[in-house]
Amino acid sequence: MLDSFIHQYVPPRGDSRDTLLLLHGTGGDERDLLELGAELGQGAGLLSPRGKVLENGMPRFFRRLAMGVFDVEDLKYRTHELAQFVKTAAKHYAFDAGRVTALGYSNGANIAASLLLLHPDVLAGAVLLRPMVPLIPDRLPDLENVPVFLAAGKRDPIVRPEQTAKLAELLREAGADVDLEWSAGGHELTPGELTLAKRWWTRTPVEEVRS
Torsion of CA 123, 48, 30, 28, to 10 degrees: 20
DSSP state of 56: T
187 is catalytic: yes
The catalytic residue among 18, 32, 156, 179 is 156
Q: Is 156 a catalytic residue?
A: yes
Alpha carbons 91 and 112: distance in angstroms, whole number: 20
Which secondary-structure segment (H or E) carries 10? strand 7-10
Q: Mind giving me the DSSP string for 66-104? A: ETTEE-HHHHHHHHHHHHHHHHHHHHHHT--TTSEEEEE
Q: Is 121 a catalytic residue?
A: no
Residue 122 and residue 36: Cα distance in Å, rounded?
A: 21
Catalytic entry in 18, 32, 106, 179: 106
Catalytic amino acids?
Answer: 106, 156, 187
